[in-house]
Amino acid sequence: MKKIYKHLALVLCALIVALGLQAQERVYVSTDKECYLAGENMWLSVYCMDGTTGGYSQLSKVAYLEFHNLEGVASTIKVPLKDGRGCGRLQIPLGFATGNYSIVAYTSKYGGNSIGEFNGKVVSVFNTLSGIRVKDGVEVVGAEESLRGDGKVKERSNWLSLDVHTGDAQNGTVPVEVKNLSGKSASVSVSVYHLDDIVGIIGEYGYDKSTLLARKGDFEVTDNVDYAGEVIKVRIAGKDVKEKGVYMSAVGNTDDIYINTTNGKGEAVYYTSNIYGTRDLVFEVEGDTSHTYNVEILQPEAVHRSVPVPVLKISSRMRDALEQRGMDMQIAKRFEADTIYTLMPMRENSFIGNVQPRRYRLDDYTRFPVMEEVIREYVKDLRVRKEGNETVMRLLWGTKAKALVLLDGVPVTDHSAVVGIDPHLVKEIVLYSRRYVLNNRIYDGVVMFNTYKGDMAGVKLAGNVSIVSHRGVQYPLAFTGDRLPQMENYPNFNNTIYWNPVVELSPEGTFSFNCIKPQYKGKFKLVIEGIDSNGEAVYTSTVFSID
């Protein structure tokens, strides 16, 4: 069996090396619009292209986006990739300074130091809640001076047909039909946003005048590659950290469990299948539980440069428009919830596999005051025994290996800690009856204890356990408005009223959708942007009114 695993590992490494030699990845980004307020969502659609073949890259599974202004990097996010496409959002912090921002995008493999300057898409951000501005990035001009940016994107109007049926909007929706008039397929993003007075003042294209594929730059090649998901590298500091097994897990998710062994420097590398959202990562070093360790997540050190970001011009003419949009933003922010968004397809790579679990919801049974009694009376096939000085849970009776015990998704090697918790805090116990292998550790089954609050029932962690906050990849979300009609009295003051980041247009095909009317009137812009099957940029738009 070891020889088979070794052979498979060598084949996989050879395949990765071969892909790395062929691929020259470049990452492109389209957004829902060009002008934002601090506090709004900046919706992003990502295209990872193989510069050699012209198609989508199958190598990297994470794209890295940096938001540069004249002062440097203001924020960063990571976007998961599936077959070269991905999507995410920057929840623009309320502390973002007013100014223009350039989006620099790359992969880990092709994301070393900049070779020349990156020509990224430029977006404008206004902070209506504070007077903070990008240093040397904002120019205050007189009310009579022009504020319009010089951006103008070349459209391919003969490629697509856009039909917006505003006359059918009596039921609260505006039907839209997109027809592909060419014989080529395309992968695009679709956006509908309000052309308010701010956009009217600075222009529909703002300061961005480049097509999607013109936004590119080069970086040095690195030795890193996110071939299955984000690769997380950590350094363990403490007593005797060499060649120690270290568990890594994310609180609240059973799929995010990994184990690896430290090298001579106390470093360990985890090849994840992507950890989504901002999560607390729990690291447990095998061995003496009285030893304490410090865990540091190592970040790549590379210098990325953007072309000079244009200065944003502002004047007193913008005051009323900014105040109105600022009020709308605060209303939308107050009622914002992820339930109004649509989760796009995600890569799934659960170590649990396709195994039907046995669930024991403890509210269905008479509660005992002691967890061991609950297990003994209700949970079949799970046994708690004392083996020497150790409390051990075994799921498959008669097997040699212990069960892998998870408390709110976190491995607990000291089973007595779980046996000692108050069963009234536990919502359910879930059993997976199968042998599992994590790295070179073998477990006969998995036992999950899920609490009501997801807080591990207040179990005190041993000294060999550390918790580190980690910003993982973005959840791939869309905002199509489909869920708004079911949310009674939802105040729809969103500036972007429709966003679908990944739409596949077949040759001569049609894509139709209903755009939910907001609670205000005005002009709106529909934008289709993406890349066709020949590797050429696609951009077309139309403007319509909602009364």
3-class DSSP state of 418: helix
Instruction: Give the residue carrying structure tokens 């050879």.
Output: 14
Percent helix, strand and coil across the chain, each rounded to 5? Answer: 15, 40, 45
* Nearest in space to 542 (alpha carbons), one of 494, 529, 532: 529
pLDDT at 275: 93
d(CA 128, CA 472): 29
- What are the DSSP E strand ranges found in 222-352? 231-238, 245-250, 257-261, 267-271, 278-285, 293-298, 312-314, 342-343
d(CA 175, CA 168): 7
517 found inside a domain: yes
255 found inside a domain: no
**Residue 419: alpha-carbon gap to chain centroid:** 36
3-class DSSP state of 416: helix
Long-range contact pairs involving 336-343 (C-beta distance under 8 Å, separation at least 24): 338/475, 338/477, 339/483, 339/487, 340/479, 340/483, 340/484, 340/487, 340/490, 341/477, 341/478, 341/479, 341/483, 342/477, 342/478, 342/479, 342/480, 342/482, 342/483, 343/475, 343/476, 343/477
pTM (two decimals): 0.90
Q: Give the domain range for residue 195.
A: 2-222+302-346+476-546
pLDDT at 150: 65
pLDDT in tens, 326-370: 999 999 888 888 789 999 988 777 788 888 899 999 999 988 999
75 found inside a domain: yes
* Nearest in space to 408 (alpha carbons), one of 459, 353, 442: 459
125 found inside a domain: yes
231 found inside a domain: no
pLDDT at 334: 86
378 found inside a domain: no
d(CA 88, CA 479): 11
| HSE-up (13 A, CA, CB side) for residue 173 | 14
**Residue 117: alpha-carbon gap to chain centroid:** 26
pLDDT at 507: 93
318 found inside a domain: yes
Residues of the chain with pLDDT under 50: 1-22
d(CA 55, CA 353): 31
The total of structural domains in the chain comes to 1
pLDDT at 485: 76
Tokens (6 digits) for 401 = 């290996």
Instruction: Give the residue carrying structure tokens 């030893």.
Output: 291
N- to C-terminal Cα distance for the chain? 69
276 found inside a domain: no
**Residue 486: alpha-carbon gap to chain centroid:** 26
* Nearest in space to 46 (alpha carbons), one of 515, 347, 477: 477
The residues pairing with 540 across neighbouring beta strands, listed in sequence order, are 528
